[in-house]
Amino acid sequence: MQRFTYEAAPMRVVFGDGTLAALGAEVERLGLRRAVLVVTPSQAARGAALAAQLGPLAAGVIPLAAMHTPVEVTEQALALLRAMGGDGLVAVGGGSAIGLSKALALRSGLKQIAVPTTYAGSEMTPILGQTEAGRKLALRSAAVLPQVVIYDVALTLGLPPALSATSGLNAMAHAVEALYAPDANPVTSLMAEEAIRALAAALPAVVAEPGDRAARAEALQGAWLAGACLGAVTVSLHHKLCHVLGGSFGLPHAETHAAVLPWAVQFNAPAAPAAMARIARALGQADAVEGLFALSRRLGAPASLAALGLAESDLDRAAEIATAAPYPNPRPVERAAIRALLGAALRGR
Ligand code: NAD
């Protein structure tokens, strides 16, 4: 008999096409009167338009969110939040906007509404990764979990095909690692398998036709379920490697997940046959590893870490950081084997 502990995240999820129209009602439902919008610099205009939509319920926009949540940016944003007299946070964007909102919630105790526009899944997790002095440290706290998540399919229609592909594979990675997590349980495994199925079915259609609303809806549902998996279980080697490559080598988040995923799964495959069978079934392929390589190729995702800026001379240090502290993984993690894995991912197939 399998023993497990499962904690469901208590947030409210509003899902649909055009659901952003409900933002004002959701802000009021949380009792907020001076909500502050948190976006990346490239989404500043969208933030301003939403502030206008909220009218007197909005206190301003903080368009400072950056990849990997640098602590200096959070401190600057916190000063702005206080100056604006904000009493709640509305993050609109990908994992970067949601990460800054989580960092602000941790420091201020304010409630959050997350409106994701990528497939990264941060909105569903009590995890916050912050970067300081070249190191990215992750924490888990209920204090960073948004109270409300609004998924609006319409907001994802403008996500460029390349980012849709890599962000979708980022989501897929959460679901894949959930299937061999040490604390996997029947609920997360069901969510994971359905996430992999939905993402594998929808992403090729999304990349071929970014305006395909049915495919976008299926991809976003897959991303939601994958994010819920990430929030509920302990992830392993794949996430550790991406965390190191992003935090210590500045590699871009979603692209790195896309380039590493098949290699990390190939490494773990001999030690996790039951998970591999479920991944293969969800992909509709005979083999999990080959299925992931094929999907990645079909989506035109980056095929090597070299293409993302990693150098051969970085491999020793990356392997050293990735194996410095122990963490759960189906196959034992040794420095030489991890260096070989990273070398293969650096060169690509
Ligand atoms: P991102 O949020 O950095 O977005 C990438 C770029 O795309 C940004 O310039 C953004 O403005 C733009 N963008 C976002 N949505 C768009 C849309 N619909 N149309 C056009 N442009 C759009 O990238 P991401 O991959 O979503 O998030 C990466 C960050 O999230 C990393 O820092 C990562 O560590 C974090 N993350 C955290 C968790 C967690 O659980 N804590 C989970 C996943 C990712």
Closest to 34 in 3D by CA, of 54, 57, 50: 57
- Mention every residue, 6+ apart, whose C-beta is less than 8 A from residue 96: 40, 65, 66, 67, 68, 69
* CA-atom Rg of the chain in angstroms: 19
93 C-beta closer than 6 A to ligand 1: yes
94 C-beta closer than 6 A to ligand 1: yes
Number of domains in the chain: 2
Residue range of the domain that includes 296: 161-347
- pLDDT bin (cut points 50, 70, 90) of residue 134 is confident
Same domain as 166, residue 46 = no
In single-letter form, the type of residue at position 143 comes to: A
Interval between CA 113 and ligand 1 midpoint (Å) = 16
Q: Could you count the other beta carbons within 10 Å of the beta carbon of residue 75?
A: 11
Same domain as 328, residue 216 = yes
Q: What is the pLDDT of residues 178-203, one digit of tens each?
A: 999 999 999 999 999 999 999 999 99
- Whole-model pTM: value is 0.97
41 C-beta closer than 6 A to ligand 1: no
101 C-beta closer than 6 A to ligand 1: no
Same domain as 247, residue 275 = yes
Domain boundary among 105, 134, 156: 156
- pLDDT bin (cut points 50, 70, 90) of residue 247 is confident
Say whether pLDDT at 1 is over 80: no
End-to-end CA distance of the chain: 40
- pLDDT bin (cut points 50, 70, 90) of residue 280 is very high
The CATH number given to whatever domain includes residue 121 is 3.40.50.1970
- What's the pLDDT at 199? 99
Residue 2 counted as domain residue: no
Interval between CA 39 and ligand 1 midpoint (Å) = 10
Say whether pLDDT at 79 is over 90: yes
74 C-beta closer than 6 A to ligand 1: no
Interval between CA 247 and ligand 1 midpoint (Å) = 15
Same domain as 104, residue 187 = no
Same domain as 329, residue 195 = yes
Same domain as 327, residue 216 = yes
- What's the pLDDT at 50? 97
Interval between CA 273 and ligand 1 midpoint (Å) = 32
Same domain as 177, residue 152 = no
Helices (H), the chain: 23-29, 44-54, 71-84, 95-108, 153-156, 161-179, 186-208, 213-232, 237-249, 253-268, 273-283, 288-299, 315-322, 335-347
Domain boundary among 156, 171, 198: 156
Residue 6 counted as domain residue: no
Domain boundary among 130, 156, 182: 156
Please give the number of the atom of ligand 1 that sits closest to the Cα of 116.
Answer: 15
ipTM: 0.98
42 C-beta closer than 6 A to ligand 1: yes
How much is the mean pLDDT over the chain? Answer: 97
Same domain as 315, residue 235 = yes
Mean pLDDT of 224-247: 96
Interval between CA 124 and ligand 1 midpoint (Å) = 14
Q: What is the pLDDT of residues 301-325, one digit of tens each?
A: 999 999 999 999 999 999 999 999 9
- What's the pLDDT at 151? 98
Please give the number of the atom of ligand 1 that sits closest to the Cα of 230.
Answer: 40
131 C-beta closer than 6 A to ligand 1: no
Residue with token string 């509709």:
284
Closest to 245 in 3D by CA, of 334, 348, 131: 131
Rounded to whole angstroms, how far apart are CA atoms 232 and 237? 17
Interval between CA 96 and ligand 1 midpoint (Å) = 5
Please give the number of the atom of ligand 1 that sits closest to the Cα of 166.
Answer: 25
Percent of the chain with pLDDT over 90: 95
Q: What is the pLDDT of residues 84-125, one digit of tens each?
A: 999 999 999 999 999 999 999 999 999 999 999 999 999 999
- pLDDT bin (cut points 50, 70, 90) of residue 136 is confident
Interval between CA 246 and ligand 1 midpoint (Å) = 13
Q: What is the pLDDT of residues 5-57, one digit of tens each?
A: 999 889 999 999 999 999 999 999 999 999 999 999 999 999 999 999 999 99
Interval between CA 2 and ligand 1 midpoint (Å) = 36
Rounded to whole angstroms, how far apart are CA atoms 208 and 164? 11
